[in-house]
Amino acid sequence: MRSHHLLCSASLLAVLILAPHLVLASEPTRTLSAPLVQWPDTARVVGTVASAQHSHISPRVSGVIVELPVRLGDTVAAGDVLARLEAEEIHARLAEAEAQVALANADLARVEQLIASGTASVANADSVRAAAAQAKAALHAAQTMVGYLTIRAPYDGVITARHSEAGDIGQPGTTILEIADPRRLRFEARVPETLVNALDLEDTVSVVIADVVMVAPIVEIAAAADPQSRSVMVKACLEHDEDRPTVRIGQFGRMHITTDMRSVVAIPASAIIQRGQLQQVAVIEDDTVRLRLVRTGRLWQYGPLRLSPDDQDGATHTDEAWLEIVAGLSHAEQLILSHPQRWRDGQAWQGGQP
């Protein structure tokens, strides 16, 4: 019985050890004909994430802020109460206007009775009707002023700044809150005037924010340059994406502007075998795998790379991280992409099974 348990344990251990290799062996080995790609020469410009819809909220009337129910970062819907103010003089005007309307209506009713009995002239009635209409207009104005004491969200958004507290005096033109729509983000950067001519509306640029790479179309280019900084404001739209890590308003980032394009041999970074300071690729030559030393250049991970017009091989672009090959690999040579480190130099290719 003991020997049976030992045999089972040994078998299980062997399966566990060999399982990763069995999985790898079952996967098809991917290869690639080393392509010529259009490698961008780029310039980097720093900028900031902003909302296309951002508002400074200030009262329309003066009053004491008695309620400020929202906090920094709160999400609000259009029409939600952002603040309430108190102003006794505005309520007094409303009470006065209501009294004037009641008086005017009573006068109008009395005059209409006199006209019906023939003891009042039409001219007197017109004057009283005009006074009643004026009183109603004053009441409407007073009601509007009372409505201004409650400040509501103009649209769905988030509170990005809070400049006041309950008990403060709110005045027209003084910002108490800021609100922005987080679904309509854009990246704003001041581009040196020497680079801005390389950009056009609807061109796409790569924007990198907290190591997240986004391809963004340009939606605005300022018509005038800033004479102090010798730069032009450029704005690119950051499309809303639920799967993307959170990008916050005010966040720092970099815009990569393409200034030139060159045809170079480049391969996915995953195809590189790193051994210390040496870099190798697994190349297929006459059905034999050769591990060849290569010298790499720049890394590209800022969006799609397009194939050079001189390259007739399949795909048109890729979103992977790619490395420029400076030496050691020529265009159209066949190399192994999946698990290249599993291969030994001189090993037979055998249709992709090491």
Residue spans of the domains in the chain: they are 28-40+262-352, 43-53+181-260, 57-82+153-179, 88-148
Residue 225 and residue 223: Cα distance in Å, rounded? 7
Predicted local distance difference test score (pLDDT) of residue 324: 93
Buried b or exposed e, range 324-350, using 16+ CB within 10 angstroms? bbeebbebebebbbbebebbeeeeebe
Answer yes or no: is pLDDT of 4 > 90. no
How far is the C-alpha of 36 from the C-alpha of 324, rounded, in Å? Answer: 10
Other CB atoms closer than 10 Å to residue 143's CB: what's the count? 13
Average pLDDT, the chain: 86
Tell how far CA 284 is from the center of its chain: 43
Q: Domain 43-53+181-260 class? A: mainly beta
Would you place residue 52 in the very low, low, confident or very high pLDDT band (cuts 50, 70, 90)? very high
- Let me know if the fold of 43-53+181-260 is the same as that of 88-148: no
Q: What is the pLDDT of residues 147-189, one digit of tens each?
A: 999 999 999 999 999 999 999 999 999 999 999 999 999 999 9
Residue whose structure tokens are 């910002």: 175
CATH 1.10.10.410 fits 28-40+262-352, yes or no: no
Q: How far apart (Å, rounded) are the C-alpha atoms in residues 134 and 111? A: 17
Joined together, the tokens standing for residue 51 give 């909302």
Contact 238, 218 (CB under 8 A): no
Quote the CA–CA distance of 147 and 163 in Å, as a whole number.
Answer: 22
Q: CB neighbours of 261 closer than 8 A, spacing ≥ 6?
A: 38, 39, 40, 41
The Cα 218–Cα 235 span in angstroms is 6
pLDDT at 14: 42
User: pLDDT by residue (tens digit) across 6-39?
Assistant: 444 444 444 444 444 444 455 678 888 898 888 8
Q: What is the mean pLDDT of the segment spanning 305-327? A: 71
CATH hierarchy code of domain 88-148: 1.10.287.470
Taking 60 as the threshold, does the pLDDT of residue 92 lie above it? yes
The one-letter code for the residue type at 187 is: F
271-280 pLDDT tens trace: 999 999 999 9
For 135-150, what is the mean pLDDT?
Answer: 93
User: Distance between CA atoms of 156 and 183, rounded to whole angstroms?
Assistant: 10
Q: List the CATH code of the domain at 57-82+153-179.
A: 2.40.50.100
DSSP 84-132: EEE-HHHHHHHHHHHHHHHHHHHHHHHHHHHHHHT-S-HHHHHHHHHHH
pLDDT at 317: 54
Cα gap 158→50, rounded to integer Å: 13
130 φ/ψ sector (left φ>0, alpha ψ -120 to 50, else beta)? alpha
DSSP 270: G
